[in-house]
Amino acid sequence: MSDKLIYSGKAKDVFATDNDSELLIVYKDQATAFNGVRKEQIPGKGKLNCQISSYIFEYLIENGITTHLVKNVSDHEQLVLKTELIPVEVVLRNKIAGSFAKKFDLEAGKNLAKPIIEFYYKSDALNDPFINDDQIESLEIASGDELDYIKKQTLKINDLLVALFNKDDLDLVDFKLEFGRVDGQIILIDEFSPDNCRLWDKSTHQSLDKDVFRKDEADLVETYKKVLNRLEGAK
Ligand code: C5P
């Protein structure tokens, strides 16, 4: 397998492979917050994120969601399909928290009357600004039909994941997804881990996600291990 680095992100590196239609994702032992302003090396984080994300993607695939995951090649590396990235971060919120609570000066924790989907334009230089449907269409980032499909898939993924985490006594507060195009189809890409979602323990309301790092509340690796253990049924 060739090892040409084609992209180095905050939490993952992406390499070309001998197969033109596949990429190798290597999860890094690095945590960042506040758009990379805070950056720390955290041994063991890459492996945990890869294991949690693989578990979630395999569950979604079993339940009819098409994703880029081909297979895991080690405990911190995945082979994935090469796609054309749609440069939009899709955020879904079930409860008030994070930037939404701040923006509207609301107390975190309340259930929303219905899930909210928000789009952010993927740009580190611009700090991922909010972007609406019309702006996405007019800038030809994605078509109206593609946006409809992305929203439907995001709601479907939410239903599946709320049910999954419920079984583990976790509330899925919010999360971020990314999508890519391949062979005329839109598929789920990137990762799903406590780095890009909020998970609260149903009884203690404790955060089991990257907020423990953002707020310096608890050890990140111990927290992510708890999530993996609950998913694997070893509560
Ligand atoms: O900060 P905010 O409340 O907007 O984040 C909503 C959700 O999206 C959180 O679960 C957060 O971890 C995730 N997110 C992300 N990457 C970003 C922004 C938000 O994974 N660049």
pLDDT at 2: 53
Report the half-sphere exposure of 75 (CA within 13 A, side-chain side).
6
Average pLDDT for 147-155: 98
Fold of 5-81: Phosphorylase Kinase; domain 1 (3.30.200)
Average pLDDT for 123-146: 97
ipTM entry: 0.99
What separation in Å is there between the alpha carbon of 3 and the centre of ligand 1?
30
pLDDT at 210 over 70: yes
pLDDT at 179 over 60: yes
At 118, the pLDDT band (50, 70, 90 cuts) reads very high
Give the CATH number of domain 84-219: 3.30.470.20
SS3 217: coil
Residues sharing a CB contact under 8 Å with residue 142, sequence separation 6 or more, in sequence order: 86, 88, 136, 150
Range name among 1-15, 38-52, 124-138, 139-153 with the lowest pLDDT average: 1-15
State which ligand 1 atom lies nearest to the alpha carbon of 173.
10
pLDDT at 1 over 60: no
Beta carbons of 38 and 215 less than 8 angstroms apart: no
Tell me, yes or no, if the two domains 5-81 and 84-219 fold the same way.
no
- Count of other CB atoms within 10 angstroms of residue 39: 11
State which ligand 1 atom lies nearest to the alpha carbon of 97.
3
Average pLDDT for 125-132: 97
At 235, the pLDDT band (50, 70, 90 cuts) reads very low
Query: CA-to-CA distance for 99 and 81, rounded, in angstroms?
Result: 32
What are the residue ranges spanned by the domains of the chain?
5-81, 84-219
User: Considering the chain, what is the average pLDDT of its residues?
Assistant: 96
pLDDT at 75 over 80: yes
Query: CA-to-CA distance for 169 and 7, rounded, in angstroms?
Result: 36
Which of 32, 38, 91 has most ligand 1 atoms within 8 Å of its beta carbon, as the pocket-test mutant? Answer: 91
pLDDT at 3: 72
**Pocket around ligand 1 at a 6 A CB cut-off:** 89, 91, 97-100, 128, 174-176, 196-198, 210
